[in-house]
Structure 1
Amino acid sequence: MDSLLSMEEEESSPWSPALSFCFWFGFAFFVIKSCICRRKKPHQEAKTNMASSTIRAVEKILSYRFKDKSLLEEALTHSSCYNNNNNGESFRSYQRLEFVGDTVLGLALSKYLYMEYPSLDPGQLSPLHKANISNEKLARVAVRHHLDSYIRHNIRDFPLKVQKFADAVNQEDDMVLYGSVKAPKILADIVESLAAAIYVDLDFDLQKLWVIFMDLLKPIVTPEVLQQQPHPVTTLYDQCQKQGREVDIKNTSIGAKNIASVYVDGAFFASDSSDDMDTARRNAAEQALLKLSKSMPTDIGRLDFSFGLNKSFEIEEAKQKLHEVCQKKRWDSPRYSIEKEEGPSNDKKYVCSVRIATVNGDLFMVGEEKSRVKKAENSAASCLIRALLDSDII
């Protein structure tokens, strides 16, 4: 593979970088499809041990009726599940389907993003691609469509982990890319397995799969959402680079706990621990960002605390409280603007911003997406108040 890549670099390629981005996903997809097709037998309805009510319920969620019901049974069966009526032999698990689903979803999404955003380069497409099929995203899909209720398994603590994750998801008002509770991987695996099951049942028709599965994945993460919710670790590195400071995040483990420690210019800055290292790194980066915001000078023209300080926090009557803050500080009154308006007339969504002019520069904040303009303005005001509190400005 390395030699092939070297040859491609030496020769002038007719493809754009974005098209090459899709090509390599397509190459992996071609190999997997070829392997499956070699082993594929003429279609026949296989017997299934899954209750017909379960099959109908999942088919309703997917808005797809399987020709081969055994594919659906396989997609919902974890390797821990054993058939007690068959001498203790295990059922066929979803592992093979998950392997296919991972690549198939990746290619289908790559094609969609390539066509939907023709002006984006690979550097912009890659994080968008990752955000839409990450474990966090797919696990949320499983929970919101209650697919976890139909998984066959023999994992003792699985219900507790799912419930903890589901409780956190249910408290999220809008789309959240980086939650505070680790997503159980089995939930994401099931979504990938179901995608593969549909794909195989459709005789490997990628376009038909995407038409069916896109509705399940909605809301699709857009460039605007990524901009509003940048990853804290990425934001930390960007902020330090702008200030000419060096940042290092060191990972250590003590027993089952993972610890992430942030060092700025060689000095300890912040740390956090979690069962999951990614969560620990994210939380430690958020703490470091708060410290950085407090140490930043206020005469920089504009203070932008857009890295999501209060995604799970909203202040009641925030607009009125922010107006009172402005009066006490002798600042100009807050000015609100609609940053985004989308959706049909009966289901509009709004994102508003708030700006306050001060002697040291403008304070600016974008709120979260809401169903009404007033709620969107309140969200922006709430975000700004929280940012001001965390920065010790008020």
Structure 2
Amino acid sequence: MSKVLVIGGGPAGMMAAIMAGRNNNDVMLIDKNKELGKKLKITGGGRCNITNMRDIEDFLEKIVVNHKFLYSCLYTFTNLDLVEFFKKHNLNFKIEEDLKVYPENDKSQEIIDILKKELKKSNVKIIYEKEFKDLLVEDNAVKGVVLESEEIIKADKVIISTGGMSYPKTGSSGETYEILKKYGHTINKIYPSLVPLIIKEKWIKNLQGISIRNVKVSSYSKNKKIEMLGDILFAHFGVTGPVILNISSFLNKTLKEKEVDIIVDFIPDIKKEELSKLIRKNPNKAIYNNLKEILPLNFTKELLNYLSINKKPNELNKQEEKRIIESIKNLKLTCVGTKSINEAIVTSGGINVKEINSSTMESKVINNLYFAGEIIDVEGLTGGYNLQIAFSTGYLAGISV
């Protein structure tokens, strides 16, 4: 039996503590908040997109950074294993668009309650409102931790699952990076990821609140074309919505250095020739009325206003029609940056995976120190991938101590 400390009570930390406890270790879970799973509680607007039911090989393709590092943990504790873990507590799930998995009642609190029951069953002692300040390291091995109150808690093994820097109000504010640097770990540069994009074009603010489903957004990252499909939402600062959050994962680093163009096709399933016929369908009606079956009326009105075209279809010349079609099929927007990491869903960057044993989640720099969750430099797209990463890395760390 080992004495194990788990620092951080998010999904990765709770799963790590549960599995370490099941292996008959003496486990203590320490969290700085008054409650466990504070960020998990607000995930997906409180609905909790817990995982995705893609085959693991397809699942790995949705991991943007360091997917090879995650092979062991995702095969050790798969999406099917995660769903089965909760089903044992009679929690029902539903599978929605793009194979996203949610609790049937759309309540993240039920996920947290089950994890807390499992923590109790595994005899995990939980310490609330205690902040991790430092590690105790001797002879290149961890011996415990120091809390902010200067309290020292000794241990044989320590699992760090304190999260990244996104949503700092939930407790993941990034102080752990500096502690780990001090003991020789490399922290890859931190960027906001799955984050809204700020757009230069001022007229976009007139579209605030308008959402359009299933648009295609394309851009270039490191001379490679990136194309994504999904929903877009206009805001006063620019654009957000699932397709924008996903493409931000590929553009965030470049946007720290320069502007990036994105091209939006608002109706990817409709060809230009067909769009031309729709524009002229009723020659004496307003153009936006002819297009209202395929695009929101208020969007088309603002687009035509931006193009300074206030004509009926029978008054349009070919050049004006071409401008309308190009603006709907290939609207170029200039991204000048992302919103801050406070508004990002996940953190890009973190502990360099080359310094972690992918088969156990143990540090290669400090013996008996393990990692789980968002503190590691791994990230996936939206759709349940990041929560699965948290649970799978936590599981593997927990069974390895």
TM over 0.5: no
Q: TM-score, normalised by structure 2?
A: 0.24
Tell me: higher relative CO, structure 1 or 2? Use CA pairs within 8 A at least 6 residues apart: 2
Q: TM-score, normalised by structure 1?
A: 0.25
Q: By percentage of residues, which structure has more helix?
A: 1
